Amino acid sequence: MPSPAGVRVLLASASPRRAQILAGLGLPFEVIDSAIDDGELTPPDNATAASWTIAMAYLKARAAINGLTVGTPGVVMGADTSCELGGQIIGKPATAQDAARTLRAMSGRTQRVVTGVALVDPAHPRTHRVLIADTATVTFGDLDDAMIEAYVATDAWRGKAGGYNLSERVAEGWPVAVAGDPDTVVGLPARRLHEWLDRTRGWGSWGGWA
């Protein structure tokens, strides 16, 4: 698969974890403002995690495009991550109580974590776009109340789908197993990004391929 080195990616996300993943892949990128607070949005009852995250990723990308100067080179990348437990979509907890309740529900169970990605040509956002999602599963062992309460008190759950960051929980020794791409759980499917970016070859707004 040809590597899209030199392609200018405009990341419509303030997530430091997504920026770290792109940097680790050696992809040149710039962070731009999507002006979307997805914490205030609620998925409809009939939404799946895949459809919801893809829709949110595209919404973020389109909102970011509205703030760009016409003719800005590059491709806009929006992304969104949600957990799905027992058929219910779980986004970012709004309060410490929400975070604790969510983690208790995840204790001893397996959840699906879905990250949707939208790659959009700012010059032709309706016709030149790639909308796709990747899924991984996360299984927590038993999480006792003391463990959950100590974690929630740190406020590290804020801004994270499901109320946790995978690498941080692994580093802290939480009982957790992952099937699939761990970076999908963190917020951006690293294993598939080059494949998805290659689908946009030929778009005029990339600013050139190396």
**Is 38 assigned a catalytic role?**
no
Q: What is the pTM of this model?
A: 0.88
**How far apart, in Å, are the Cα atoms of 38 and each of 65, 84, 99, 160, 183?**
17, 16, 16, 11, 20
Catalytic residue chosen out of the listed positions 37, 38, 80, 144: 80
Beta strands in 20-156 (DSSP E): 29-31, 75-85, 88-90, 110-120, 129-140
| CATH architecture of residue range(s) 9-198 | Alpha-Beta Complex (3.90)
- Reported as a single tens digit per residue, the pLDDT across 181-195 is 999 999 999 999 988
Q: What's residue 110's pLDDT?
A: 97
pLDDT in tens, 55-69: 999 999 999 999 888
